[in-house]
Chains A and B, each alone.
Chain A
Amino acid sequence: MLRWILGGREAQGTVEKSAALFIGEEQPKNCFTEMQVLKGHFDIVRFLVQIDDLRFASAGDDGLVLIWNVETGDCLFELRGHTQQITAMISYTFIRGRNAHAALITASSDRTLSLWDPDSGNRVQNISDLQSSVKCLLVLDRLDVWLSGGNELCVWNRDFELQCKTVHHSDAGISAMVELPKNFIAAAMDKEIVIFKLSLSGSDIAVMAMRHLSDHRDTIHSLISINDGLFASGSHIGELIIWDSVDWTIQAYEHILWEEPQGDSQSEVKLKQIERSIQHMSSDGEYIVVAVGSGLYVFNVLMKSVVAYRKIAHDSNVLHTMLQEDGRLMSCSEDGSVRMWELQDLPLAAEPASSGFFGMFGTFGRSSKQTGPPAKKIPEVPGLRSLELIGDLIGHSGAVQMFLSFKEKGLVTCSTDHLLIIWKDGELQSQLRSLAVFQKLEENQEL
């Protein structure tokens, strides 16, 4: 009378096709069992910035900047002022008097820069007569200045006074900046990396371009600092270059091609379509995670070797990645999901992935074909490990633009569907609520 289907025809096919990608509904290692949906934006939310342990700011194409409490999910302030989309946002803390203050700088397409006080929600400073819109911001705590990069590089002091700026560069402008030792700045401009030097003479600051590094053959999308001695850049065609921070020489060069094995004509057609642009990189000083197209690539900068990779980690382009302290990885993608990965030794990884899927409905959008798990094909590289999917977060109905981790307090994701979601550890939250209940009982003297 009562029976269930243990994987029908369709289900079996699915398991085989995407064994590497689909984890199924049983996710014992995924602790995010509670979500809180935050509404407030009216357009794509692109940026998340952490202010302190409790607060973060979100901004996007609607020009709104919202400040949230991560524990309660309350919107603390709505910072209104920008008329067009936000292009860059950064927060910093400074000591004034004896207290640490937080501040938030936003840049918008309306060619304004604003300084906000997240404690009061006031716009403290505003600069509106910029030549071009700012695409990136960088705070140099050491020099007590901050930089804005657009078509030119401007240096500002704490009081929002322009200290100096470079000449107009090109239409492409500066898309990313990192701080290098000895007051040098590396800025990515189209295919080049330009090294600027900030020279301080008394209270005056001057900026000048020192060197143009033009080793990339395509537009640089990502530029990050790895540690004191290294920084990395990634380009549109999958070139990953590790640079020395002091003498700006190439330490490692990887061209990630995501090539399919020969002899599969069908795949070769696919090959041209596979996106291999490096969208995002993140690093913990030793490893560097590179989002290449819809795949992930883990590189050990000290050993200068590939640690693990997964060609198709998502159904669509990966937009943001993160290396956690416990060796786990997170990535989010245009396919609307956030995935959690674990670096595992290869023999384990060769085992077939979860087969606990018996759904009547297929997973969403598994259109990209793949002949088998890619991890199996690179046994010759010594020390290669595999990236195993340990969980995924599905909630957004649009591309997940970015995420921000508050450790045990949760994970915030923002998306093109105008929503933010705080993902939390349900068990922990439940315990916290219990504590809150007993606290209230005590307050009401009902205990």
Chain B
Amino acid sequence: MIGSPDVVAFTKEDDFGDSFTDPCSLPEEFSVPLFAHAANANPWTKTSYAKFSKDFILISEFSEQVGPQPLLTIPNDPKVCGTFDLNYFSLRIMSVDYQASFVGHPPGSNYPKLNFVEDSKVVLGDSKEGAFAYVHHLTLYDLEARGFVRPFCMAYISADERKIMHQFQEMSSAFSKASEFLKSGNRRAFANELEKKLKDLEYTRSVLHKETELQKMNNGCYSTQAIEKANELANVEKSIYEHQDLLRQVTSYPSRKKKDVDFVQHEMEKPTDTDDVTDDTLNGNHSDVADKTVETESESRKSSYTPQLIKAKSAKCFDKRLKTMEELCDASFFHQTLEQLNIIEKSFRGDLCLIYTSQIDRALLNKQRVTSFLFEADRDWEYGGTSKNFSISSNNPTIPILNLSGEPLSLDSYTTCIDVDHIKPGVESMEVPPESSTSDITQETSEAADTETKGSFSSDKSIEAFGGVSPSSLQANYFDGLERKSKVSIASPSEIASSSVAVSQRTSDGNLVPMDAACCIGQDGFIFEEPLPELAQECCGDTVVNQEPLSLLQGDPALQVDYILEESALAESPNMGLTFSDLNTEEVAKINIEDVSDSTSFMSASTSSDRAVSPFTYGSALTLKQKKKAGHSALRFIRQYPFAQQAIFCLLSGRTLVILGVDEGTVRKLVNALFIFVPNLGKYGETVQPWLSSPFQLTDLQRWKLIGLQRAVSPAGSSIRHSLNRYSRYISILDCDNKTLRCPPYKGTLVSHLADHRTQIKRGSTYFLHVQGMLTQITAKAFLYTFCHHIHLPMDINDQGSVTSRRTNFLLQLGYTVEESKIIQYLSELIKQHYIQGTSKGGNQSFCFNYTTSYLYKI
């Protein structure tokens, strides 16, 4: 016998420690930064002493009349802010010296010039208040405002500075989108305003003209009145000219930037290539269209607006009422913005690690498009437009975690940040294959440098301004760099060409979007839910652009890329690759932000009763929430019925399960408990028929994999019984009145892990996650089985037999019994059909079955 000391001798750490890598450990890019815990502190205790209960979004304005003032908060609930001093905070966030913007009369120019300034994004913390904020500054045009501009800012305020720092990227793109709505609406409103003003001026001119003529006639040319009038007329003329110029500038916004002095320089640096030529033409057309629509709009407005006599010089007075934000922007755009802000608020709600996991979750799900239809809910609807902006890269461990706790960061550290950033793109450009235009990148660099010198980042002493979190993910890995090459060119700043690149790409998708005059870009971006080129341009203002576009999961080629990824992983070491994806997805399976908010309500629901409302209502999509509630029912089912494993086996192996019963409620309850095990459930649960009171047909078996059937005594009942008899070989019957199950036998560990009646899991949602994890694991195996060449392709033409044996052996090697192999085979068939046919459900589906003996199970 070997005593314990012997064993110890053989298991010295040195022997294994180095070589052994835990196959279950997460790949680095999926890891969530660990909570920096000290002395076993509870991570959930609120360490900050913030005066508000949860994160919120604040919009404030630096009013030229009253100074910084808060306008609104999202959510619009006074309880959220608590005792937090919004006025004070507005003052602080607005007093960050915003970019110098030359509005009004720039030196050397006679006319006012609109500067289409980029938004600036900064992070600032107020350790005294315990508030940390992502601050997004933007300017809106207002004809009556000083210098025609009114500075606004949107701020995401949170007590958790790490959230702000880590989610900077996502916040930046989400807020940029919101800002884009506002600015597009504002440009349109501003153009309208200008046109009205022009009407007024023209009318005034004509009146003045008449009067001057009259004066001349009466008093002669050189009378004081005549001279006054002439001066006034000249003023009006000048004003008209100025306003016309402004109108021209604002309506030709997309093409205008090009002519900007700043950009002309870059133009010269840049070697012209063919792409740009086409872009120019495209762009030209584009702005033509824009102009035309503006013209037609103004045409129509001409009739409706009656001009008034105005004074040539508008008095700068402080008693006039400033326009509200809604007036400044088109109302519809304003509401769009609010909607977007609400989405932002929702998506950043909750703890940082939740946001992380949900982002990783989504990114991984995106990768799994080949198999996700099997068990994953179609979750597009949940995240609205924001989903695409998240990417794994943001979780990259190389993001600098700035420690805000102690001393404020100095300006120096900020500039070094930028410097680092400047070097990086250059490095990257060397790695980028020749086809991506390197010129973009160099230009980007210089642009960033420009911004740096131009912008002044002086900050108040009490404010710690951590301007623009440095991108830093550049050094991440080469793979990213390669993948991003396409995106880099799109996201390259300053030249409008890039925007039209994007436009043309989209139209090639076949989605032609009606473009609106002044706001075309904003809308465009909204529809496509992609980071706009323009956003990227604005990003460059604070040098975030390089980090912004990690397009690994975006666009159509993504699937392809993912597949290659997964394949290569498989090729190297099938098992390893498999466990990777398994475990990751399992780990993060279904956690999302909604959970947190729902969890309390769910707890009450789970304890109250099992009379969950059936999720199958006509035409409505199944929600994750319903599935979680189903998890509770499933847990009950497993505890109650000893043959639950057999029932679940039937569903997983594609054998239609008929739940037969007299009472509709009972049957529906069972259907509700079991539907989470139905593969390829469909968005609306199409493969489940919760209650059927007429005999089913053969085609129904093809369509439905879980059927609730009424047991009736009437003639209808006998025909139902007849169909049950007739198709008994294709179905399993769960009789919920007699508590019996008639189905093929199953004994194995796979489903018993899935549905252990002695499970310690107490809560339905937890169980649901457990199920999801297990199912994901099975799905991964099915994926492996489906896409392994060597087991499916015949060695030569007359090789059918060996294929069959290779397939069976493969499944046995994976550790599945003959019965469990049926599950994998069924899922594999579904994957194949799905892959061949695409998402369209057309075509005549085949119905697979096998000839096995059924047994009758009783409680």
Q: Which residues of A contact B (CB under 8 A)?
A: 1-5, 24-28, 30, 33-39, 72-74, 336, 356-364, 391, 394-397, 419, 421, 424, 426-431, 433-438, 440-441, 444-447
Closest 10 CB pairs of A and B: A434-B792, A27-B851, A73-B844, A4-B855, A433-B832, A361-B725, A25-B853, A2-B642, A446-B563, A34-B848
B99: chain A residues within 8 A (beta carbon) = none
Question: Judging by beta carbons under 8 Å apart, are A430 and B829 in contact?
Answer: yes
CA distance A147 to B789 in the complex (A): 53
Question: Judging by beta carbons under 8 Å apart, are A434 and B832 in contact?
Answer: yes
Question: Judging by beta carbons under 8 Å apart, are B844 and A72 in contact?
Answer: yes
B277 at the interface (CB under 8 A from A): no
Q: A25-B851, A36-B846, A431-B792 are in contact. List 6 more A-B contacts (CB 8 A).
A: A4-B856, A5-B855, A72-B843, A356-B853, A430-B825, A433-B832
Instruction: Give the contacting residue for A37; candidates B702, B728, B742, B849; CB below 8 A.
Output: B702
B793: chain A residues within 8 A (beta carbon) = 434-435, 438
Question: Judging by beta carbons under 8 Å apart, are A358 and B724 in contact?
Answer: no
Instruction: Look across to chain A and name the residue whose beta carbon is closest to the beta carbon of B560.
Output: A446
Question: Judging by beta carbons under 8 Å apart, are A1 and B850 in contact?
Answer: no
Instruction: Give the contacting residue for B829; candidates A433, A444, A445; CB below 8 A.
Output: A433
A35: chain B residues within 8 A (beta carbon) = 846-847, 849
Instruction: Give the contacting residue for B858; candidates A3, A30, A397, A431; CB below 8 A.
Output: A3
A394: chain B residues within 8 A (beta carbon) = 726-727, 729
Q: Using A2-B643, A397-B698 as known contacts, say yes or no to A34 and B835 having CB atoms under 8 A apart.
A: no
CA distance A430 to B791 in the complex (A): 12
CA distance A447 to B835 in the complex (A): 14
CB distance from B258 to the nearest CB of A (A): 38
B613: chain A residues within 8 A (beta carbon) = none
Q: Using A4-B856, A74-B844 as known contacts, say yes or no to A436 and B642 having CB atoms under 8 A apart.
A: no
Question: Judging by beta carbons under 8 Å apart, are A395 and B698 in contact?
Answer: yes
Instruction: Give the contacting residue for A36; candidates B724, B800, B844, B854; CB below 8 A.
Output: B844
Q: Using A360-B742, A437-B835 as known contacts, say yes or no to A429 and B856 having CB atoms under 8 A apart.
A: no
Question: Judging by beta carbons under 8 Å apart, are A360 and B856 in contact?
Answer: yes
Question: Judging by beta carbons under 8 Å apart, are B858 and A26 in contact?
Answer: no
Instruction: Give the contacting residue for B789; candidates A2, A357, A438, A446; CB below 8 A.
Output: A438
Q: For B740, B793, B848, which residue has the most chain A Cβ atoms within 10 angstroms?
A: B848
B427: chain A residues within 8 A (beta carbon) = none
Q: Using A433-B833, A434-B832 as known contacts, say yes or no to A446 and B564 having CB atoms under 8 A apart.
A: yes
CA distance A434 to B789 in the complex (A): 9
Question: Judging by beta carbons under 8 Å apart, are B846 and A429 in contact?
Answer: yes
Q: For A30, A36, A359, which residue has the most chain B Cβ atoms within 10 angstroms?
A: A359
A435: chain B residues within 8 A (beta carbon) = 792-793
B856: chain A residues within 8 A (beta carbon) = 4-5, 358-360
B852 at the interface (CB under 8 A from A): yes
Q: Using A37-B698, A362-B725 as known contacts, say yes or no to A427 and B804 having CB atoms under 8 A apart.
A: yes
B740: chain A residues within 8 A (beta carbon) = 360
Question: Judging by beta carbons under 8 Å apart, are A359 and B728 in contact?
Answer: yes
**Contact indicator per residue, chain B 698-740, by CB within 8 Å of chain A (1) or not (0):** 1100100000000000000000011111111100000000001
Question: Judging by beta carbons under 8 Å apart, are B836 and A437 in contact?
Answer: yes
Question: Judging by beta carbons under 8 Å apart, are B792 and A38 in contact?
Answer: no
Q: Using A397-B697, A436-B832 as known contacts, say yes or no to A358 and B563 having CB atoms under 8 A apart.
A: no
CA distance A72 to B829 in the complex (A): 15
A396: chain B residues within 8 A (beta carbon) = 698
In chain B, positions 804-859 with a C-beta closer than 8 Å to chain A are: 804, 825, 828-829, 832-833, 835-836, 843-859
Question: Judging by beta carbons under 8 Å apart, are B800 and A431 in contact?
Answer: yes
A37: chain B residues within 8 A (beta carbon) = 698-699, 702, 844, 847
A selection of 27 A-B contacts at a CB cut-off of 8 Å is: A4-B745, A4-B856, A5-B855, A5-B858, A25-B851, A30-B851, A36-B844, A36-B845, A36-B847, A37-B847, A38-B844, A336-B726, A356-B853, A359-B728, A359-B856, A361-B725, A394-B727, A394-B729, A395-B698, A396-B698, A397-B697, A424-B846, A429-B846, A430-B829, A431-B804, A438-B789, A447-B567
Interface size on B, as a range, is 35 or more
B859: chain A residues within 8 A (beta carbon) = 1
B787 at the interface (CB under 8 A from A): yes
Instruction: Give the contacting residue for B786; candidates A27, A356, A437; CB below 8 A.
Output: A437
B852: chain A residues within 8 A (beta carbon) = 25-26
A445: chain B residues within 8 A (beta carbon) = 560
B417: chain A residues within 8 A (beta carbon) = none
A356: chain B residues within 8 A (beta carbon) = 853
Question: Judging by beta carbons under 8 Å apart, are A437 and B844 in contact?
Answer: no
Instruction: Give the contacting residue for B800; candidates A357, A428, A433, A438; CB below 8 A.
Output: A428
In chain B, positions 120-170 with a C-beta closer than 8 Å to chain A are: none
Instruction: Look across to chain B and name the residue whose beta carbon is closest to the beta carbon of A434.
Output: B792
A361: chain B residues within 8 A (beta carbon) = 721, 724-725, 728
CB distance from A420 to the nearest CB of B (A): 11
CA distance A26 to B850 in the complex (A): 9
B312: chain A residues within 8 A (beta carbon) = none
A358: chain B residues within 8 A (beta carbon) = 853-856
CA distance A428 to B848 in the complex (A): 12
Instruction: Look across to chain A and name the residue whose beta carbon is closest to the beta carbon of B792.
Output: A434
Instruction: Look across to chain A and name the residue whose beta carbon is closest to the beta carbon of B825.
Output: A430
CA distance A73 to B835 in the complex (A): 18
Q: Using A360-B742, A430-B825 as known contacts, say yes or no to A397 and B726 having CB atoms under 8 A apart.
A: yes
B411: chain A residues within 8 A (beta carbon) = none
B563: chain A residues within 8 A (beta carbon) = 446
Question: Judging by beta carbons under 8 Å apart, are B854 and A25 in contact?
Answer: yes
B803 at the interface (CB under 8 A from A): yes
CA distance A43 to B560 in the complex (A): 47
Question: Judging by beta carbons under 8 Å apart, are A437 and B699 in contact?
Answer: no
Instruction: Look across to chain B and name the residue whose beta carbon is closest to the beta carbon of A447.
Output: B567
CB distance from A432 to the nearest CB of B (A): 10
Question: Judging by beta carbons under 8 Å apart, are B725 and A364 in contact?
Answer: yes
Instruction: Look across to chain A and name the residue whose beta carbon is closest to the beta carbon of B728.
Output: A361
Q: Using A37-B699, A72-B843 as known contacts, say yes or no to A436 and B836 having CB atoms under 8 A apart.
A: yes
Q: Using A4-B858, A436-B836, A440-B836 as known contacts, say yes or no to A426 and B850 having CB atoms under 8 A apart.
A: yes
CB distance from B371 to the nearest CB of A (A): 13
A395: chain B residues within 8 A (beta carbon) = 698
CA distance A3 to B745 in the complex (A): 11
CA distance A359 to B731 in the complex (A): 12
In chain B, positions 568-606 with a C-beta closer than 8 Å to chain A are: none
CA distance A73 to B560 in the complex (A): 30
CA distance A336 to B559 in the complex (A): 47
CA distance A391 to B725 in the complex (A): 17
B726: chain A residues within 8 A (beta carbon) = 336, 364, 394, 397
Instruction: Look across to chain A and name the residue whose beta carbon is closest to the beta carbon of B838.
Output: A440
Instruction: Look across to chain B and name the residue whose beta carbon is closest to the beta carbon of A337.
Output: B726
Q: For B740, B847, B851, B853, which residue has the most chain A Cβ atoms within 10 angstroms?
A: B851
Instruction: Look across to chain A and name the residue whose beta carbon is closest to the beta carbon of B829.
Output: A430
B794: chain A residues within 8 A (beta carbon) = 431
Question: Judging by beta carbons under 8 Å apart, are B848 and A438 in contact?
Answer: no
Question: Judging by beta carbons under 8 Å apart, are A444 and B833 in contact?
Answer: no
CA distance A318 to B855 in the complex (A): 31
B846: chain A residues within 8 A (beta carbon) = 34-36, 73, 424, 429
Q: Using A34-B846, A35-B849, A397-B698 as known contacts, say yes or no to A2 and B854 having CB atoms under 8 A apart.
A: no
Question: Judging by beta carbons under 8 Å apart, are A33 and B786 in contact?
Answer: no
CB distance from B518 to the nearest CB of A (A): 41
Q: For B844, B845, B857, which residue has the most chain A Cβ atoms within 10 angstroms?
A: B844
CA distance A239 to B125 in the complex (A): 103
CA distance A444 to B725 in the complex (A): 46
CB distance from B540 to the nearest CB of A (A): 34
CB distance from B700 to the nearest CB of A (A): 10
Q: Using A438-B792, A444-B560 as known contacts, say yes or no to A359 and B835 having CB atoms under 8 A apart.
A: no
B702: chain A residues within 8 A (beta carbon) = 37
A39: chain B residues within 8 A (beta carbon) = 699
CB distance from A397 to the nearest CB of B (A): 7
Instruction: Look across to chain B and name the residue whose beta carbon is closest to the beta carbon of A421.
Output: B698
Question: Judging by beta carbons under 8 Å apart, are A25 and B729 in contact?
Answer: yes
Question: Judging by beta carbons under 8 Å apart, are A434 and B786 in contact?
Answer: yes
